[in-house]
């Protein structure tokens, strides 16, 4: 006789603390279920891993008999092809979908054993492992070990950070293949015009079209900077009488206007020159220009006697992370903040539009404190570089890729008449604005136990450790023990 499952408690009857525990439990249960599905599929493959053509009386494969196939990549075992339809039916999917899932499972178990162990331990989600196997699909069994070790070491970090590490290690494992990918990508550069097709697409997008461009990264960044600058000038000098009622035009509108202006280089040059003329004249004699024509009225027929400022080279501040190889020489791979991993040889192309000034390496082991409220620039810089992004538990943002730079929070709240030295490396946590506000107003408890270590307790009792390797679940007892150790050390 089958046993009836106990009905789950209505979430509306749970306390806030119980809701949090239930949410955490369900996420882990989902991961556990996904891992179990992979384990069952692998067990089925193991039962059918022998070559059926070695069996006495086997129907030859050329006559439709079973044969050994290799769904996984280099280093994975084979499986009998005719066993897939049955397990696919049990899983409620097509044999092709089942084969693709089996490929990922085989890759994880045989090519990424350390990563697979982290997935089985519910530290890393299955979907992250799936993407990593795809990233490293062209690596040999020997080369992929580099990626496997790095991913396993970083498993507690956010998925985005783990994938960036996997990308970097994939390049490092086979730089020659990445150079080939760069050449192939260069051949696909181009600019395309897409107009909405007749019918619903054009009806709901009347009067607009889309331009798609594929450029080298350095060229794309330079073009984006130009668009941003022209858009700001257009917004600054726009005629207020032509602004829409209610909300003014947003950034996207002015960027599209800037892009359209570049279609007429002469008009763009005249506009930029006139803006420079007005700025120069305003600096010298603002009272002499009471009736200056707004630059938005300038067209190709309104030349200026002044030359436009040189615009072919810009200023950029780029953080490049380099490492020494086993031979003591610089490794061929670099990590550029905001762009991710690149070959060191790509840096020249990336920066060719800019003047380059080298600044000394920032020593992240240094630290200092000050008596004021604001974090000094050097402290802010060190804290930002020590952490990939927000140090809120399980945060996924990357500092240099986020739309807004993170706030630098005082872990121990600043007291206006408190002791000296409250602000510094020892009391700083980068947080995005939402989590900063939550920490400030909702009673989160945070303790910084080192330059890159924070212990959190949420208002309803969830405890987490955030350090350079990611976010770790800890018990209430471990949370208390670490705080006691910090108190004794101080």
Q: Using one digit for the tens of pLDDT, what is the confidence trace for 119-176?
A: 999 999 999 999 999 999 999 999 999 999 999 999 988 898 899 899 999 998 999 9
- Higher-confidence residue of 26 and 246: namely 26
Please state, in angstroms and rounded to a whole number, the distance separating the CA atoms of residues 187 and 16.
56
pLDDT at residue 420, rounded to an integer: 85
pLDDT at residue 317, rounded to an integer: 66
Let me know if residue 276 belongs to a domain: no
Please state, in angstroms and rounded to a whole number, the distance separating the CA atoms of residues 42 and 380.
49
The total of structural domains in the chain comes to: 3
Give mean pLDDT, residues 239-263. 83
The boundaries of the domain holding residue 42 are 27-174
Judged against a pLDDT cut of 60, whether residue 285 lies above it is answered with no
Judged against a pLDDT cut of 70, whether residue 485 lies above it is answered with yes
Let me know if residue 295 belongs to a domain: no
CB 331 within 8 A of CB 343: no
Domain end marker among 333, 359, 385: 359
Let me know if residue 39 belongs to a domain: yes
Same domain, 38 and 168: yes
**Residues 6+ positions from 269 with CB-CB distance below 8 Å:** 308
Count CB atoms within 10 A of the CB of residue 76: 20
Rounded percentage of the chain residues whose pLDDT exceeds 70: 83
Same domain, 157 and 43: yes
Same domain, 410 and 449: yes
Same domain, 151 and 40: yes
Please state, in angstroms and rounded to a whole number, the distance separating the CA atoms of residues 116 and 109.
6
Same domain, 323 and 376: no
Let me know if residue 401 belongs to a domain: yes
Residue 339, both tokens: 């762009």
Domain end marker among 124, 151, 174: 174
Same domain, 438 and 351: no
How far apart, in Å, are the Cα atoms of 358 and each of 320, 328, 352, 355?
11, 22, 14, 10
Let me know if residue 240 belongs to a domain: no
- Is the pTM higher than 0.75? The answer reads no
Domain end marker among 145, 174, 203: 174
Q: How many CA atoms lie within 13 A of 263 on its CB side?
A: 6
Same domain, 337 and 447: no
pLDDT at residue 289, rounded to an integer: 41
Chain length of the chain: 490
pLDDT tens digits, one per residue of 173-217: 999 999 898 889 888 899 998 888 877 877 787 778 889 999 888
DSSP summary character for residue 328? S
Same domain, 335 and 386: no
410-419 core/surface letters (b: 16 or more CB in 10 A; e: else): bbeeeeeeee
The residue written with tokens 């600043």 in the block is 414
pLDDT at residue 402, rounded to an integer: 45
Same domain, 334 and 389: no
Radius of gyration over alpha carbons of the chain, in Å? 29
Same domain, 132 and 163: yes
Let me know if residue 184 belongs to a domain: no
Judged against a pLDDT cut of 90, whether residue 44 lies above it is answered with yes
Same domain, 166 and 100: yes
Let me know if residue 66 belongs to a domain: yes
Same domain, 35 and 139: yes
Let me know if residue 182 belongs to a domain: no
- Higher-confidence residue of 345 and 73: namely 73
């Amino acid at each position: 006789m089958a046993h009836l499952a106990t009905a789950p408690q209505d979430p509306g009857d749970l306390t806030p603390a119980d809701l949090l525990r239930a949410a955490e439990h369900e996420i882990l249960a989902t991961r556990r279920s996904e891992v179990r599905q992979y384990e069952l599929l692998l067990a089925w493959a193991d039962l059918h891993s022998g070559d059926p053509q070695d069996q006495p009386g086997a129907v030859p494969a050329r006559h439709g008999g079973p044969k050994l196939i290799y769904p996984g990549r280099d280093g994975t075992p084979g499986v009998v092809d005719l066993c897939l339809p049955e397990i696919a039916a049990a899983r409620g999917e097509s044999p092709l979908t089942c084969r693709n899932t089996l490929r990922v499972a085989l890759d994880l178990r045989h090519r990424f054993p350390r990563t697979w162990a982290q997935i089985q331990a519910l530290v890393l989600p299955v979907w992250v492992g799936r993407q990593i196997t795809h990233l490293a699909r062209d690596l040999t069994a020997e080369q992929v070990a580099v990626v496997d070790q790095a991913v396993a070491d970083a498993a507690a970090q956010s998925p985005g950070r783990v994938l960036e590490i996997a990308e970097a290690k994939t390049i490092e494992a086979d730089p020659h293949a990445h150079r080939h990918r760069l050449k192939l990508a260069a051949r696909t550069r181009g600019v395309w015009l897409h107009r909405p097709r007749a019918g619903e697409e054009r009806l709901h997008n009347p009067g607009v079209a889309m331009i798609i461009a594929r450029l080298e990264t350095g060229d794309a960044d330079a073009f984006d900077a130009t668009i941003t600058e022209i858009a700001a000038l257009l917004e600054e000098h726009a005629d207020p009488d032509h602004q829409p009622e209610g909300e003014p035009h947003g950034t996207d509108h002015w960027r599209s206007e800037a892009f359209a202006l570049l279609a007429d280089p002469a008009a763009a040059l005249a506009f930029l020159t006139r803006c420079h003329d007005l700025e120069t004249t305003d600096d010298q004699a603002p009272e002499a220009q009471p009736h200056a024509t707004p630059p938005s009225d300038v067209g190709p027929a309104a030349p200026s006697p002044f030359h436009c400022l040189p615009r072919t080279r810009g200023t950029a501040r780029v953080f490049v992370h380099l490492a020494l190889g086993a031979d003591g020489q610089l490794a061929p791979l670099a990590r550029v903040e905001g762009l991710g991993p690149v070959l060191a040889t790509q840096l020249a192309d990336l920066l060719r539009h800019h003047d380059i000034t080298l600044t000394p390496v920032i020593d992240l082991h240094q630290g200092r404190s000050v008596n004021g409220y604001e974090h000094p620039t050097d402290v802010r810089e060190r804290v930002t570089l020590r952490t990939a992004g927000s140090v809120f538990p399980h945060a996924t943002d990357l500092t240099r890729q986020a739309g807004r730079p993170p706030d630098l929070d005082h872990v121990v709240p600043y007291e206006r008449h408190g002791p000296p030295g409250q602000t510094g490396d020892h009391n700083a946590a980068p947080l995005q604005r939402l989590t900063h506000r939550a920490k400030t107003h909702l009673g989160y408890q945070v303790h910084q136990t080192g330059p890159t270590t924070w212990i959190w307790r949420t208002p309803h009792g969830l405890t987490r450790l955030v350090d350079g390797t990611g976010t770790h679940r800890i018990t209430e007892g471990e949370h208390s023990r670490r705080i006691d150790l910090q108190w004794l050390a101080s």
